[in-house]
């Protein structure tokens, strides 16, 4: 099913190597031998988890339905405009991020605030697409993958 998830993400304008780049940037200080290829493998492993798949399916469906203007009001307007007080998109992302513990939650907070890489592109693309959920889902996937790598490394960053 992770291949189907990768295909769904790609349909929404997200490629696994873009998520892996975020993971690499988050963890390269802690794991000097880390490679982008390994990060892609870890992102794929995260996408193989059922709860991640369910969150991605749910969020992508809501974004698509909002694009098609098929949601009931006021939900349509809330999701279409990515209303700042609507936090369900973050809840889905945090659900993914927390799969490997609280380190994923802290990474999610950073990525949600800074809008790193493809997360920023998704957040800014409001002309033809609704990405209310997708930017947070990607942040959650990247955070979970970074946390999985961190759990296996367990070394402090040397500056």
* CATH code at position 66: 1.10.3760.10
Q: Is residue 115 part of a domain?
A: yes
Q: Is residue 121 part of a domain?
A: yes
Q: Say whether pLDDT at 158 is over 60.
A: no
68: tokens are 């098609």
What pLDDT score does 128 carry? Answer: 75
As for how many domains the chain has, the answer is 1
Q: Are 47 and 141 in contact (CB under 8 A)?
A: yes
Which of the 8 DSSP states describes residue 13? T
List, for residues 16-75, the tens digit of each pLDDT value. 999 999 999 999 999 999 999 999 999 999 999 999 999 999 999 999 999 999 999 999
Which of these, 80, 114, 155, lies nearest to 142 by C-alpha position? 114
Q: Is residue 159 part of a domain?
A: no
For residues 140 and 138, give the distance between their C-alpha atoms in angstroms, rounded to a whole number: 5
List, for residues 13-29, the tens digit of each pLDDT value. 999 999 999 999 999 99
**Extended strands (E) in 8-122:** none
**This prediction's pTM:** 0.94
What pLDDT score does 6 carry? Answer: 94
Q: Is residue 158 part of a domain?
A: no
Q: Is residue 32 part of a domain?
A: yes
List, for residues 81-129, the tens digit of each pLDDT value. 999 999 999 999 999 999 999 999 999 999 999 999 999 999 987 667 9
Residue 144 lies in domain: 2-153
For residues 34 and 150, give the distance between their C-alpha atoms in angstroms, rounded to a whole number: 11
Q: Are 142 and 76 in contact (CB under 8 A)?
A: no
């Amino acid at each position: 099913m992770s291949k189907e998830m990768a295909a769904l993400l790609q349909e929404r304008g997200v490629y696994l190597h873009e998520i892996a780049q975020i993971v690499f940037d988050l963890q390269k200080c802690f794991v000097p031998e880390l490679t982008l290829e390994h990060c892609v493998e870890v992102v794929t492993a995260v996408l193989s988890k059922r709860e991640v798949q369910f969150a991605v399916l749910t969020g992508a469906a809501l974004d698509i339905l909002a694009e098609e203007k098929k949601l009931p009001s006021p939900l349509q307007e809330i999701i279409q405009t990515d209303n700042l007080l609507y936090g369900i998109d973050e809840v889905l992302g945090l659900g993914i991020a927390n799969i490997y513990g609280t380190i994923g939650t802290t990474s999610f907070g950073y990525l949600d605030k800074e809008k790193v890489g493809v997360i920023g592109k998704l957040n800014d693309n409001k002309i033809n697409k609704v990405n209310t959920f997708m930017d947070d889902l990607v942040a959650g996937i990247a955070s979970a993958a970074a946390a999985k790598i961190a759990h296996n490394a367990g070394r402090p960053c040397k500056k």
